[in-house]
Each structure stands twice: as structure tokens, then as C-alpha cells.
Structure 1
Amino acid sequence: MEMRRARVRFKLRQMEAFRAVMLTGSMNGAARLLFVSQPAVSRLIAHAEQSLGLRLFERDKGKLTPTAEAQRLFEEVGQLFDEALRIDELARDLAERPEGELKLCSSPSLALNFLPPVIARYVNEHPRVRLKYHTTLLSDMAHELLGRKVELAVSVLPIDNPNLVVEPFATGHMVCILPQGHALARQDSVGLAELARNRLVLYSRNIPFGQLVAAAFQRANVPWRATVDIVRAELACALVRSGVGVAIVDEFSVAGGGWPGIEVRPLREPIPLALSLVRSRFERPGRQAQRFVKLLKEHAQRRAAAVQ
């Protein structure tokens, strides 16, 4: 039995014209965007309205106002064009980068100093691979991995999720940062009680870093009195450099001397960190992910040897 092809009422060319009008606010603007004539755009919109049985725009003295139905359609059409661009990008990559791609995310603090040398070496050694990299919060990593938005994540803390494989591969510590010339900078290490006598810039207790630091304060029987709550290490560094106070951040954020104007000192009460590789339990790591992991572990080993 021959199957009938479904009749599409909203043609792709009409969607393209509709999207262009929504983006530019006029038929003329849409025509310039699409490199066609204004009457051609007007005809496409008119045909779309007739086919759909919907009024997409209110017309008043040459001004177009999208209807509620048009606003709703625009959301869906936008998603369709985003997906079309993704497919076009994939097709281009298949032609230009036959070795594929690697989709990677990490904790924000690892993007400042720790991961860039690894990424630089990777792209130099594998120039025909497309690397897609972004930072994400610990709370969002499971969604990124299980939703297949990324293949591999590098976390500054372990993640507790039965659907993820978590492999610790390096260790570190939280450190204190001080404005240059601060009295505590004359010491080789700093205690929490000494820090607490200053204005404190601390991670919010609503995030994992903050919970680690709060637990250390509690163990040391030091009251927690944050002057400023932050969620990103670079905010703490900028505030400390400006003289707001002193702070506690992860050592990876301030490694390599990337923040002139601040002093870094170890804490006497250690707050350990465990860097972890994280992937979905349901996906085997691909060849490119395996290559990246190899370089990452080599970098971590060199770094550990340098600080011993």
C-alpha cells in the first residue's frame, strides 16, 4: 500500500521569511536579510497566513505587530533553525575535520589556569578534531553528560550520581588569597582564625565549595562571618585585589601567577580537593576523549612532580 506524504502547510521557505520579519521587524528588513525583494517576502508571509489559517501580523500604517500566535510560532521556528545550523555545522565538520569532535566541559575554576595548557597541546597534536569546550556548575554536570551535550567533564570535586563514572586523577587544596602587602602575607601559611579577624570573601554555603569551607571553619571552631558571598573564584580574586578583604579559593584558580596584586598562602587547616574525570555510565569514551584524558593525566603528573 502506497503511503501518502504528509502535506506540510508551513513551508520551510515561508518559515525563513517569517523568521526574518520577526528578527528585523519589517518586510523591507527581512528582504535585505534574505537578499530577496520586499514583494517576495510579502507574498511568502501572505501565503503562510493563508495556508495556516492564522494571522501572523497586525498591519497598521505600514507597521507590523506580531500576533500572540506569531510569538509562539517564532519560538518553535527559532529552535528549528538552531537545529538546522547545528546540522550544517556537523556536515561542514565531517568534510573539514574527518577525525571528529570532542565535547568537553569543566568546573569554572579549572578553565582559568589548569586546563588551558592541556587544551593547547591537544589542539596542536590533533588539528583536524573540533573541540567544543565550556564551563558548567557542578550541579549541572550530570545533566550535560547524561543528556549527551558533552562526552567528558573535568570536575574540581567528585560528583555523587549512580549513572556517572567518576575517576579521581589529581589532588589539590583550598588556599587563602591576600592583597599584596597584607600583614598575613609575611607568613608561610595562614590559619582560619587569623583570616577570620579580617573581612572575609567566601564561597556561598549553598554551593559545594562553600560547604567544604564552612565545614573546615566548624572543625576549627572559628565563626563564619562572610562580608561578601561569591560563587566564582575570579570574583574573589578581583575583590581581594581591590582591597575588599581576604578570601579562600581553590588552588587551581590562582596557579601560575595569573592574578598580579594578590598573595597566595596555604591554609594550616587543610581543605583537600580531588579533581575527577566524569563521564556517563551508558557511553563508552570515544577515541578523542581517550586521547584528551591521556594528555590531561600527563599534565596532572607533571604538575604534581613540580610542587613536590
Structure 2
Amino acid sequence: MLNPRQIEAFRAVIVMGSVTGASQALNVTQPAVTRLIHDFQRSLGLPLFVRRGSRLVPTEEALALYREVERQFVGLDRIARAARDLREGRAGTLRIAALPAFSVGFMPRAVGEFMVERPELDVALYGSISSQVVDWIASGFCEVGFVQTPIESAHLDIEPLVSAPAVAVLPAGHPLCAKTVLEPADFAGERFVSLENSTQLRYRIDAVFSQARISRQSRAETPLSMIACAMVAAGAGLSIVDPFTAAEYDKRGVEIRTFRPHIHLDVACIWSAQRSRSGIARQFMSFVRGKLATFADVEP
């Protein structure tokens, strides 16, 4: 069995060019390095160094052996670096699932920015409706998820993230663009692009207009805010959507306006209650929480 300390001393003498340099690098005495080298040569049965004056000069056999030793040390360095990166949350694998409102632009940008400082991190990002995200997290297919609340599940830990007010989206140049805040009365008789009645936001929007006794001309319907925004940009009508999706279409044929009374989209981060959370996943959730600050409802 080769002595690791002898191999380390051999490598240090080659790299540093002298016994003195090796002793300083290893923080041991010069006699200790000399003894390690002598014992290493004897155990191998190879002449590794020849003395020229006060210097030890590596033989051809030593240089050939060094190349093999260096490959092994590089492998060990990689293992140590990988462990450090995992410890510091700079490497590993992260599987993320997010509701459609996040998937259009907000979440891909957040993931990209997060990865810039973590070049060894592998990420998988999936987008789907909140119920599907719940299934992916509960089954362990993804580690961290972002969903619209309220939801209930005994298999999940749920952490509220943001309560963001929905916004009105109008075709560029529409007369209502002259206003900074829109109310239900502004939509009276206007063509309206509705979200599908399978979405929580649709029910909340309908409730507001019903309470105000305002009728809209609902001529189009879609389950996704991104489709609603694209239809608005094409002139199909007005709509009310989540602010995350609306931000992706701002100035792309669409104008965004505040809508009152506020209709909130509540978003939470979810985790499996049966699995531990990796450090990298916790870091990512904190990173996203910071990014969401600009969307929080800060108006009275």
C-alpha cells in the first residue's frame, strides 16, 4: 500500500521545485520531506530524484509518475470542490414547478439569474396549472413548487409568498389608456377577454363586476393569461389578468393599468412535507421571494 503522505510530498517537491518549497507548502520540516521522499523511492523501487549540488532533480521516471499522480489529485480536487459547492449551494440539481403566471417570463428569468452565480447547478423547470404542480411536489417529481392559493394538502408544506393585485390590460391606443386607474364602470359595454371559469381569478373578477352591476361583452375566453394578453394586443377586447403575465406584454401592443377594487392573486411556495429540503432549494426560494417584492400589493 502506498503512503498518501509520501505521494503528497513527492508531488509537492515536483510542483515547488525544491525540498524547501515543499516543506513550506506542506508545513513540515525539510528533513521530514526528505525522509518521505526517500521512503517513497524505496517502496517503489524507482529512482525519482538525483542530486545536483544542493538540488533534487526529478528523473524521467519521476516525471512520468507525476503525470499520473497529478491526474489523481485533480480528481480529488474536483471531489472536494463539488462537496464545497454543494455545501455552499453552488451546485447540485434543482427541479422546479410553477403556475402559468410565473412560467411566461418571471420564473425563467429568475432561474437564469440564479444559475449565473452557480455554473455547476443543473435545473429543470416545469410550468403547469397549480393542481398539477401540487401533484409533482407531492410525488417527489419536483422539489420546489409555486402555486396559486388557497390550496389544502396534508402532504405539503405551504409558505405564502406574495399577494399581487390583478391588472387591466388594454390594446395600445384604446381610449381608456388615458386613465391611470380603471374601475368596473369603465368596462361597461366593452368587449372583454375572459379567463376560463376553471380559474380562481375568473371567479374573483366576475364577483367584482357582479357586485358593481356592470355588464361586459365577453366575446372570448381562455384558461391562460398569456393568451388573453395576446388577444388583447390583437384588438379582441380588454381583459384583467395577473401582473406577472401582463408585465411580459407591456408595450408589446398592450397597455397596463391599475384596476380597483383590487383582485388579488395569492401565490405560495410548496414543498413535500415528507422530504427534506436541499440547501439549494431553500436558497432559490429566498431568491424568488426577493424578486417578488416589486409585485406585492403596497397600495392602500
- TM-score range for the pair, normalised by the shorter chain length: 0.5 to 0.7
The equivalent of 1:160 in structure 2 is 152
Letter in 1 for 2:209: F
1:149 aligns with 2:138: no
- The CA distance in 1 between the partners of 2:126 and 2:175, in whole Å, is 38
What is the aligned counterpart of 1:209 among 180, 201, 208? 201
Q: 259, 266, 278: which is aligned to 1:274?
A: 266
Aligned to 1:265: 257
Using the TM superposition, give the Cα deviation of residue 161 of structure 1 relative to its aligned residue in structure 2, in angstroms. 2.1
Aligned length: 213
Per-residue deviation at 1:280? 1.5
Asked whether the equivalents of residues 241 and 262 of structure 1 are also in contact (C-alpha less than 8 Å), the reply is yes
Paired residue for 2:238? 246
Partner of 1:113: 105
Measured at CA, do residues 213 and 140 of structure 1 come closer, stay the same or move farther in structure 2, by a change above 3 Å? same
Supply the distance in 1 between the matched residues of 2:293 and 2:284 (Cα, whole angstroms): 14
**CA contact under 8 A between 1:205 and 1:214: conserved in structure 2?**
no
Question: Does the 8 A contact of 1:110 with 1:156 survive in 2?
Answer: no
Change over 3 Å in CA distance of 1:200–1:304 after alignment to 2: closer
Structure 1 residue 202, shift from structure 2 partner: 0.8
Q: Identify if the C-alpha distance between structure 1 residues 239 and 160 changes in structure 2 by more than 3 Å, giving closer, same or farther.
A: same
Q: Do residues 234 (structure 1) and 226 (structure 2) align? A: yes
Q: What's the CA shift for 1:302?
A: 5.6
Q: Structure 2 vs 1, CA of residues 207 and 307 (structure 1 numbering), >3 Å: closer, same or farther? A: closer
Equivalent position SS for 1:129: strand
Distance 1:261 1:141, change over 3 A: same
Tell me if the contact between 2:243 and 2:295 (Cα under 8 Å) persists in the aligned partners. Answer: no
Question: Contact conserved, 2:187 with 2:216, CA < 8 A, in 1?
Answer: no
Deviations 1:181-221 (CA, angstroms, capped at 9, x unpaired):
11111111111232132111010112222122222222323
Distance 2:298 2:196 in 1: 32
How far apart are residue 225 of structure 1 and its match? 4.5
Whole-angstrom CA distance in 1 between matches of 2:263 and 2:232:
20
Structure 1 window deviating more from structure 2 (239-248 vs 267-276): it is: 267-276
**Secondary structure of residue in 2 paired with 1:115:** helix
Output the CA distance in 1 between the equivalents of 2:223 and 2:176. Answer: 24
1:287 shift after superposition: 1.5
Decide whether aligned partners of structure 1 residues 259 and 135 sit closer, same or farther in structure 2, where only a CA change above 3 A counts: farther
**Counterpart Cα distance in 2 of 1:153 and 1:256:** 21
Which residue type is aligned with residue 203 of structure 2? Q
Given candidates 180, 184, 188, the residue that maps to 1:188 is 180
Post-superposition CA distance 1:268-300 (Å, at most 9, x none): 221012221111221221112111112112222
Q: Is the 8 A contact 2:190 2:217 kept in 1?
A: no
Q: Specify whether residues 305 and 229 from structure 1 end up closer, same or farther in structure 2 by C-alpha distance, changes over 3 A only.
A: closer
- The CA deviation at 1:226 is 1.7
Percent of counterpart pairs with the same letter?
23
Whole-Å separation in 1 of the counterparts to 2:298 and 2:248 = 12
Larger Rg: 2
Within a 5 Å distance, the mapping from 1:1-308 to structure 2 comes to: 99-223=91-215, 225-255=217-247, 258-301=250-293, 304=296
Change beyond 3 A, Cα 1:126–1:275: same
Structure 1: give runs of 5+ residues left out of the alignment.
1-93
Shift of 1:134: 1.1
Q: Structure 1 CA distance, aligned partners of 2:134 and 2:216? A: 31
Secondary structure at 2:106's aligned position in 1?
Answer: coil
RMSD over aligned Cα atoms? 2.5
1:92-135 per-position Cα deviation (integer Å, ceiling 9, x unaligned): xx9xx984211101011112232233212211111111100010
Give the direction of change, closer, same or farther, for the CA distance of 1:142–1:229 in structure 2 (3 Å limit): same
